[in-house]
Amino acid sequence: MHALLLIAHGSRRQASNDEVRDLTQALKQQTDDQFQIVECAFLELAEPSIPDGVSACVEKGAESVTVIPYFLSAGRHVVTDIPEELQKAQDKLPQVKIKTAPYLGSAQGISEILIGLSKQAS
C-alpha cells in the first residue's frame, strides 16, 4: 500500500491546523487509486510530528510514503528541516520507501488558482 503524507508547518491556532486536516480529508477522497492511506503531519506546534506521521502510515500498512510539503516557498523548512525530520523517520523505519514531492508553491497551477480567486473578490 502507498501513503500520501501532507506536511504543514503547524500553528498555535487550532483552526489553522484543522484546515490542514480538512484538506487531508479532501485529498483522501480524491486519490482513490494512487494512495490507499492519506495522512498529515506538522513540522512544529501541532501533532502528529513528521516521524509520527510516517509511523502512522507504516502502521496502516504503507510500503511507501509520498511526502508533499504544504509550504509556499523553498525556505529553511523545505530545504533543511523537513528532510532532517524525514531522515529521522527513515532511520527508525528502514523498510519504508520515503519519496518527496515538490513543495506547493513550486506548482505551475498556482497562478490559475489565484486568477480564479480574483474573480471571487468583493
For a copy of itself, the closer of residues 16 and 49 by Cβ is 16
CA distance linking residue 57 with residue 4, whole number of Å: 8
Q: Residue 14: what residue type?
A: Q
For a copy of itself, the closer of residues 34 and 87 by Cβ is 34
Determine whether 44 is exposed, middle or buried from the number of CB atoms within 10 Å of its CB (0-12, 13-18, 19+).
Answer: middle
Min CB(31)–a copy of itself separation in Å: 6
Alpha helices by DSSP H, 31-100: 50-59, 76, 82-92
Nearest Cα residue to 44 out of 90, 11, 22: 11
Neighbour tally for 90: CB within 10 Å = 17
Min CB(8)–a copy of itself separation in Å: 8
For a copy of itself, the closer of residues 94 and 116 by Cβ is 116
Enumerate binding residues for a copy of itself (CB under 8 A). 4, 6, 8, 11, 13, 15-16, 19-20, 23, 26-27, 30-31, 34-35, 66-68, 70, 72-76, 99-107, 109-122
Min CB(27)–a copy of itself separation in Å: 5
Min CB(10)–a copy of itself separation in Å: 10
